Amino acid sequence: MRYDLVIIGAGPAGMAAAINAHKLGLKFKILDEQSQPGGQIYRNIENNINLGETCNQLKDILGTDYYAGSGLYNDFKELPDVYISGAVVWQVEAGRLYYSKAGKGYSIQAEHVLIANGALERPFPILGWTLPGVMTAGSAQILLKNPALAVEDAVFAGSGPLFYLIISQYLKAGIKVKAILDTTPTINYFNALKELFSALKGTGYLLKGLKLIREIKASDTLFIKGVNMLEAHCGTEDQLTAVSYTVGNKTSSIETRQLFLHQGIVPNVNLAMASNCQHFWSEKQLCWQPQLDKWGQSSQQHISITGDGSAILGAIGSRLQGAIAVQNIAVVLNKISASQRDINTHKLFVQLKREQDFRPFLDTLYRPLDSLRKPVHKETIVCRCEEVKVADVEQAISNGCMGPNQLKSFTRAGMGSCQGRQCGLTISELTASLTKQSVADTGYYRIRAPIKPVTLAELASLHQPNDVIDSS
Amino acid sequence: MSFSNRECRIAIIGGGMLGSAIGYGLSRSGADIIMLDQGDTNLRAARGNFGLLWVQGKGAEFPDYAHWTLKSCQLWPAFAAELLSLTGIDVQLCQQGGIHYCLDEGEQQSYNLELQQQVAISNGLFDFQSLNNAQLRKLEPNIGRQVPGGVYSPNDGHVNPLYLLKAMQSAFIKLGGNYLPNHDVTNIKSCLDGYQISSSQGDIFCEKIILAAGLNNTALAKMIGLEQPLHPQRGQLLITERLPKLLNYPSIYLRQTYEGGIQIGDSSESVGLDDSNTISVMAALAKRAIKLLPALEHRSIVRGWGALRVLSPDGYPIYQHQQANLKKSAPQAYALSCHSAVTLAATHALELAPMIHNGQFSKPMQSFDISRLSTHPSVSV
Amino acid sequence: MFKAIQKRTSHSDAESKPKYVTLSIDQQSYQIPEGYSVTAAMLSIGHNSNRYSPISGKKRGPYCLMGVCFECVCQIDGIANRQGCMTIVASGMQIEHQQGGGYIQEATIIQETTIDETASINLTLEEPKNAL
């Protein structure tokens, strides 16, 4: 059976794409590596809607933006027989893709693939960030949504819209937060003023954000601004015991056994890169993004990319993009005409522009500090999986290493299970600085399939009788 | 004529496994050398090696090659020790022997005959032992019971190929060599007293030139009147997550690295300059790996990759030496290529490089010249 | 230690009281609410680590909770390198801290001793009693 379309990812972009694909009568499936739809932002929304009486209290904690996903989810739930959960896609070829589910390998044929696999957190390499007790702020939010776990007396360090959101969710749930260490560079506030025009395009967001921050400040939680250095310490234990931070030239320390870090999110590019989609370095968002036209069509004819996996735009923007992408795919598949697509998407583009216009303000305001993206302390681990430090990177470069791939060969950075997701950006930026090249010229790891680990049994199960190993 | 940018005595085009070995070998004698390398994402055989130091099955039909390979394996311990003391890099040399798994009876028989021939021409330096399944499992307790048999040879071994490259480049730089990455060579011009190289980052003039650019050698050699008929052959590999120690010996199908991951190979395809990895081959490799090592069944592959072997028409190295005229100071050009530059790294660095330094190939080396291919069906030399 | 938010679990309606599964973590038995991921389960009992690094031997714990960091891997039902954050708890599940690359129950793990070279070449071997 050859499908018109396979959608990868069931966050806002994926769900919106699926709803549209159904409306357009496409033959499609949507594959999700999670056990339930929602992606990251609407995680566990199915259960959290169904929680009955406690729903209101949870609603207060998680906020209206979270529950705004319930409409989308309810529409998605109605779609007949398209959703495959627990499906980990690890390779996309022209006309076919491969995934694992419950220990078995599967292949599925599709004319077109829409990658909607979202974003992940920007690496936050500080000294001690691999200690037990140090986690991302996103993980705090995930645990809050499912299964409603939280930890008292944590320190939150970082910057960005999600950073303030999770802190406010913790405070609303009555959880004590030990301290907030805000790493938003002071200069960003001045630079962001220049983006006033952009800011005013998203007045709703702006007011929401200001309200959030006001509530946090009013909560009497220790709130330190202008933090420019962080270190996680373990003393004589094998886990986090304290966090030290610097404001200006003054260093202080806070005792804690839990640290949540966050400095923004970036597109999850592994699948798109392994599928040979062209990417470019965005200096504005400090990340790699796929080359796309306005519809989400990538440099590979059979692949479109949408949502936060293409560029960071947030939940509303992702929903709009998901819908737009599918309208265009329908044209590519000769299901509707280009002019019909243009009619269908006209309003969506208007709404999308509003979301996009607000981004420059956010990108400027929350642009992370250089020293927190390119660690200065030589003992800082850059590649978590293989424990490769800044010192190792510097030594390799002084021995002639000129790019991330040679660096990978010589230091093992990027060879671990995460395949560069936690170190790739740091390595690209650090290498660029040290070799005095632009990040664009420096490049990124060569990402290859399988983009998630696959067992030999799962791989072997895809073997066809006439597959040959030696054909030359 | 203007010679802008740089001048040097020796220029090596190519910083891969072969070029780096020659570069290191030459730098040991203090020569003034530049090594030009391409950029970070170019096709490189030297990032796709399996890491074997392999003797068995080599050169039964080509005695000089068998001897050359054996020589290299003998030189390897001293070579590795040298690199370690110079650079502090441990290339993880292990020469305890290797196993070839025979996947059917027919293969075992014909392979045995071939190896007997190899013994006959190796003057007692090469040895092997044919094994049935039970004997195999004495050496390798985790080998599957469905594997008919194999061959053990004490001459074989393995090494970390990436660290080898790193160590050779490091040593080259340490001994005064100039390593120039991101230099794509676009033209080479023969001059009266040397060669002018045009690259993406400027011109370089050298008195002696060595082409060690893998598949790029074909085009580069033509520029200076040399022949390097080479074609790509793709091999795909898989690497597992870190595993506890399951294998004692390397083979061409499975090699457990020092870090614990198991590398799975070996495939061969003619697909031109395409180094991508494909499901059909990966699935076949996985199936074979499970048959060989059942414990792998529920363990995961973390990455797959493909690389292009540098193959001559008969599969043996081509070492070509050209001297412009009979004057001792005449410009000299070398074009070198092979597909087993990991095995041969020791002998490339410690024997071939000195020959190049002295401007004279030994007699056995001359059998690797391009002229041997004049009777080969696919070559028009 | 990660604890359940008071408001969610103090619900009086018997129907929506969470059900529990019995499982073991490092050979100790625990009752964990259904639907928890393995990582959430470990965090909820105060374990903020799940493995020992194969490189430094140091304790490592979960980081991203969304399947992209691979820090949360542990040995689950005898199989190593399973992501705790992507695995839902089940009755009878056996969860263990993973040492380095973990263990493989069905294999012979080779100890790091030097190979006896003479034994390997001089192969006048007897067939094992249970050979094929």
Q: Give this complex's ipTM.
A: 0.94
Residue of A406, A446, A467 with shortest CB distance to B283 = A467
Residue B143, pLDDT score: 97
- Whole-angstrom CA distances from A3 to A108, A333, B63, B103 are 8, 11, 57, 39
Distance (Å, whole) CA B272 – CA B308: 9
**Per-residue pLDDT reduced to its tens digit, A392-408:** 999 999 988 989 999 99
The Cα–Cα gap between B218 and B340 comes to 18
Confidence of residue C59 (pLDDT cuts 50, 70, 90): very high
Strand partners, B240: B301
Beta strand pairing call for A28-31 and A83-84:
parallel
Over residues B165-196, the pLDDT tens digits come to 999 999 999 999 999 999 999 999 999 889 99
Residues of C within 8 A of A60 (CB-CB) are none
Determine whether the interchain pair B299/A446 forms a contact, defined as Cβ–Cβ distance below 8 Å: no
A421 neighbourhood in chain C, CB within 8 Å: 68-69
Which residues on C lie below 8 Å from A61 (Cβ)? 5, 7
Does the pLDDT value for residue B99 go beyond 70? yes
- Amino acid identity at B224: I
Residue B125: pLDDT over 60: yes
Q: With 70 as the cut, is the pLDDT of residue A187 above it?
A: yes
3-class DSSP assignment, residue A68:
coil
- Chain B residues with CB under 8 Å of C69 CB are none
B148 touches chain C (CB under 8 A): no
CB atoms within 10 A of CB A217: 11
* Closest by Cα among A156, A228, A215, A216 to A188: A228
Contact (Cβ atoms closer than 8 angstroms) between residue A32 and residue A87: yes
Interface contact flag, A53 C73, Cβ < 8 Å: no
What does DSSP say about strands B332-337 and B202-211: parallel, antiparallel, or unpaired? parallel
Rounded average pLDDT over A231-251: 96
Q: Please state the pTM of the whole predicted model.
A: 0.93
Is there a contact between B141 and C112 if contact means CB atoms under 8 Å apart? no
Q: Chain C: residue nearest B241 by CA? A: C101
**Smallest CA–CA separation between B276 and chain A, in Å?**
8
For an interface test with A, give the residue of B264, B291, B300, B311 to mutate (most A CBs within 10 A).
Answer: B300
Q: Which chain B residue is nearest to residue C106, measuring alpha carbons?
A: B295
Binary contact (C107, B97; C-beta < 8 A):
no
Of A107, A400, A448, the CB nearest to B179: A400
State the pLDDT confidence band at C9, using cuts at 50, 70 and 90. Answer: very low
- Is B167 part of the contact surface with chain A (CB cutoff 8 Å)? no
Tokens coding C80? 């190593």
pLDDT tens digits, C91-125: 999 999 999 989 998 888 887 644 444 333 443 33
Pairing label, strands A381-383, A388-389: antiparallel
* CA dihedral over A393, A398, A402, A408, signed as positive or negative: negative
Strand partners, C36: none
pLDDT band at B369 (very low <50, low <70, confident <90, very high): very high
Task: Among B303, B305, B310, pick the best mutation site for testing chain A contact (most A Cβ within 10 A).
Answer: B303
| Cβ under 8 Å to A: C residues 58-117 | 58-71, 73, 81, 86, 88
How many Å apart are CA C6 and CA A149, to the nearest integer? 9
Q: What is the Cα–Cα distance from C59 to C75, expressed in whole angstroms?
A: 14
Per-window interface: A 173-212 vs C, CB < 8 A? 173-175
* Strand, helix or coil for residue B224: coil
What pLDDT digit, counting tens, does each position of B270-327 carry? 999 999 999 999 999 999 999 999 999 999 999 999 999 999 999 999 999 988 776 7
B1 has pLDDT over 60: no
Strand segments (E) across chain B:
6-13, 33-36, 52-53, 98-102, 129-132, 149-153, 157-158, 178-180, 185-191, 194-199, 202-211, 231-242, 254-256, 261-264, 300-311, 318-323, 332-337
pLDDT at B5: 62
Chain A positions in Cβ-Cβ contact with residue C86 (cut-off 8 Å): 33
pLDDT computed for residue B47 by the predictor = 87
Residue length of chain A:
472
**Binning pLDDT at 50, 70 and 90, where does residue B360 land?**
confident
| Mean per-residue pLDDT over chain A, rounded | 94
Asked if C101 lies within 8 A of B298 by C-beta distance, the reply is: no
Residue type at A446 in one-letter notation: R
Residues found in chain C = 132
Using CB atoms, pick whichever of B97, B131, B134 lies closest to residue C127. B134
Q: Is C130 on the interface with B (CB under 8 A)?
A: no
Q: What percent of chain B has pLDDT over 70?
A: 96
pLDDT digit string, tens, across residues B43-78: 888 888 999 999 999 999 999 999 999 999 999 999
Count Cβ atoms within 10 A of the Cβ of residue A384 and give its class: 0-12 exposed, 13-18 middle, 19 or more buried. Answer: buried
The answer to whether the CB of A358 falls within 8 A of the CB of A50 is no
pLDDT at A71 over 50: yes
Q: What is the pLDDT of residue C8?
A: 46
Mean pLDDT of A207-235: 94
Lowest mean pLDDT among A112-126, A184-198, B82-96: A184-198
pLDDT of A44 > 90? The answer is no
CB atoms closer than 10 angstroms to residue A187 = 11
Give me the pLDDT at residue A55, please: 61
Tell me if C72 sits within 8 A of C85, measured CB to CB.
Answer: yes
Q: What is the pLDDT of residues A277-314, one digit of tens each?
A: 999 999 999 999 999 999 999 999 999 999 999 999 99
Q: Which of C54, C112, C128 sits opposite B134 (nearest CB)?
A: C128
pLDDT digits (tens, 9 = 90+) for B332-349: 999 999 999 999 999 999
Buried-exposed string C18-28: b where 16+ CB fall within 10 A, e elsewhere: eeebebebeee
A195 membership: H or E segment, kind and range:
none
pLDDT in tens, A86-120: 999 999 999 999 999 998 999 999 999 999 999 99
* Lowest-pLDDT choice from A8-12, A154-158, A285-289, B355-359: B355-359
Give the Cβ contact number of residue B276 at 10 Å: 15
Contact A112, C39 (CB under 8 A): no
Which among B6, C16, C4, B31 has a CA at the least distance from the CA of A143?
Answer: C4
Strands A242-247 and A227-233: antiparallel
Taking CB atoms and an 8 Å cutoff, what residues of chain A touch B267? 469-470
The whole-angstrom separation of Cα C80 and Cα C105 is 10
In the three-class reduction of DSSP (H, G, I as helix; E, B as strand; rest coil), residue B333 is classed as strand
The SS3 of residue B66 is helix
Under 8 Å between Cβ of B257 and B51: yes
- What value does the mean pLDDT take over residues C19-26? 96
Phi and psi (nearest 5°) for B72? -60, -45
C chain contacts of residue A52, beta-carbon cutoff 8 Å? 11, 13, 16
- How far is residue A201 from each of residues A133, A278, A352, C37, C115, measured CA to CA in Å? 39, 31, 12, 40, 71
Chains that touch B (3 or more CB pairs under 8 A): A, C
- Contacting chains of C (3 CB pairs or more, <8 Å) are A, B
Q: What is the mean pLDDT of residues A69-74?
A: 92
How many Å apart are CA B241 and CA B355, to the nearest integer?
Answer: 43
